[in-house]
Amino acid sequence: MSALRNSSGASRASSVGAVAVLIDPFWVGNIPLNRSVLNQVEKLASHYGQLLRIYWYLDNYPKELEGFEAKHTTVRVLGRDDLEDGFELIKAIDSDLTGLSTHGSVSTIILGSLDDRLLLSVERIKHTGHRVVGLLSPESKNDEGSARMLRSFDDTVQLSGYAAESDREMTAEEEALLNGVVNEWLPTQDESALDYIRQYITNRPGIPREVDSRLLFLSSRVLNRELSNAEKIHIRNLVRSSVAPA
């Protein structure tokens, strides 16, 4: 079930104007790109106006998406990120936000990201008279930067129930495979990278975005499917306990 929420807790009536949706799946519980999710996003967007386009950002193009097409949807595969700091993604989203701000028919932008490096972009869009709505999920991150982004949104909407496998538990075999992914990846990181992770997890929940994205990608490739919530949490907790034991 999808939920629509605003600051008063009531549903918002439909409004005149087109709606664009920009999604970085990392910030929305690593939601999978499939027709079920897109249908839910389109339904949420309809509360604000007519959907113009959904922009979906990916670090790479998974094999299972080859040939995938969906109405009103643009998949943005990012350029190589040499610094692995997610800045290529920020540039791509900012560029699309700038373009949409000049599109005369767009009145509302739904943003599926809580990366606070987009704060200035959001404020700039709002200054041009656009409504900016945050797209969340039950797994959306909860840290200081995310809180700043949440305060900047005019409204929020929430996805839930987007993946049939999202709440399944791990088997012992799957847990062993995931442990292997993390244990093989950690020795490939030099001390400065590990120190960066330690500093991050000392002050925030979770693990750095680029680490999370990489390990979830490697793990989903090993299991040959999308990861369940329990599997994602297991990977993150394993990294935290391995890099900075309590």
Per-residue pLDDT tens digits of the chain, which is 246 residues long:
334 434 333 333 334 578 999 998 877 777 778 888 888 899 999 999 999 999 999 876 666 666 677 888 998 887 655 555 567 888 899 999 999 988 878 999 999 998 888 999 999 999 999 999 999 877 666 667 788 899 999 999 988 755 444 456 778 899 999 999 999 999 999 999 999 888 888 766 678 878 888 898 888 888 877 777 778 888 988 998 998 876
Q: Phi/psi at 125 (nearest 5 deg)?
A: -65, -40
Q: Indicate the helix (H) or strand (E) that contains 77.
A: strand 73-77
- Determine the pLDDT at residue 63: 65
- Determine the pLDDT at residue 14: 37
Tell whether 16 and 90 lie within a shared domain: yes
Q: What is the spatial distance between Cα 153 and Cα 94, in angstroms, rounded to a whole number?
A: 16
- Determine the pLDDT at residue 81: 54
Q: Phi/psi at 52 (nearest 5 deg)?
A: -90, -55
Query: Model-level pTM?
Result: 0.64
Tell whether 39 and 151 lie within a shared domain: yes
How many domains does the chain contain in total?
2
Find, among 97, 129, 130, 100, the residue nearest to 113 by Cα. 97
- Determine the pLDDT at residue 12: 36
Asked if the structure places residue 167 within a domain, the reply is no
Q: Phi/psi at 189 (nearest 5 deg)?
A: -95, 135
Tell whether 37 and 84 lie within a shared domain: yes
* Whether 21 contacts 45, CB under 8 Å: yes
Tell whether 176 and 62 lie within a shared domain: no
Per-residue tokens: 96: 């699309």
Asked if the structure places residue 164 within a domain, the reply is no
Last residue of a domain, one of 125, 158, 191: 158
Asked if the structure places residue 93 within a domain, the reply is yes
- Determine the pLDDT at residue 183: 94
Show the domain range for 196.
Answer: 172-243
Find, among 50, 48, 53, 54, the residue nearest to 18 by Cα. 50
Tell whether 131 and 177 lie within a shared domain: no
Asked if the structure places residue 163 within a domain, the reply is no
- Determine the pLDDT at residue 68: 72
Other Cβ atoms within 10 Å of 176 Cβ, number: 10
Find, among 121, 119, 149, 123, the residue nearest to 136 by Cα. 149
Tell whether 93 and 131 lie within a shared domain: yes
